[in-house]
Amino acid sequence: MDSATNLILNPKDNITSWHEVFGNSNPIHVEIGMGKGDFLIENAKRYPNINFIGIEKFDSVIVRAIEKVPKDLNNLKLIRMDAKEIDEVFANEIDCIYLNFSDPWPKKRHHDRRLTSHIFLRKYDHIFKSDAVIYQKTDNRDLFEYSVVSLSTYGYVIEDISLDLHNSDRGDIIMTEYEKKFVAQGDNIYYLVAKKGIQSHKKMLK
């Protein structure tokens, strides 16, 4: 399978050297929980001057993504890993993170597992290259409201927000496979862009 060359088997070996993996110094964007890859593959096609990395926890799901990747799509790499190890794989190298339809972990005792909890935001501090940029899309209002509070409390500024993305004035939205299903059902999609000056925040933590 030609597209299997996009799969990185030992990602921790590449910490601090991901630009060498891609063979260029282009920005690196990461999607955590990429599912079957629709969103990331389309982004990689449209933006050849950005390097994309998709992280997925489940073998059966990442196999479906591998099958979809065009063999000549050199600016996309896939990793089968748990997001809690993200700061063991990247260090001061990432320009942007996408959190699309992440597990909402609805029970309060599991909220620390949410990808916008303070535990994960602290991990992201170590992987961003300069300023931190996080994009989130979800159909879960509780997770969205939690994320707005968590990100704001942690020092992020919410620069863009929508409570109904597909009825907003934003055009040409690249959708995930889940998003296509939710939109067809008429469900609201919640969306935000959060940014933070990561270097200044690191100095504050010292």
Instruction: Give alpha helix (H) positions in the chain.
Output: 18-22, 38-46, 59-68, 118-127, 141-153, 177-185, 198-205
Instruction: Give alpha helix (H) positions in 29-175.
Output: 38-46, 59-68, 118-127, 141-153
Q: Are 176 and 137 in contact (CB under 8 A)?
A: yes
The helix/strand/coil state of 167 is helix
Both tokens of 77, joined, read 């790499």
Does 103 participate in catalysis according to the annotation? yes
Return the number of other C-beta atoms located less than 10 Å from residue 27's C-beta.
17
The secondary element (H helix, E strand) that includes residue 29 is strand 28-32
CATH superfamily of 2-205: Vaccinia Virus protein VP39 (3.40.50.150)
Which of 135, 123, 134 has its CA nearest to residue 176?
A: 135
Domain regions of the chain by residue span: 2-205
Q: What is the pLDDT of residue 147?
A: 98
Among 87, 95, 103, 187, which one carries the catalytic annotation?
103
pTM: predicted TM-score of the whole model, two decimal places: 0.92
Residue-wise pLDDT tens for the chain (206 aa)? 444 679 999 999 999 999 999 999 999 999 999 999 999 999 999 999 999 999 999 999 999 999 999 988 999 999 999 999 999 999 999 999 999 999 999 999 999 999 999 999 999 999 999 899 999 999 999 999 999 999 999 999 999 999 999 998 888 899 999 999 999 999 999 999 999 985 544 444 44
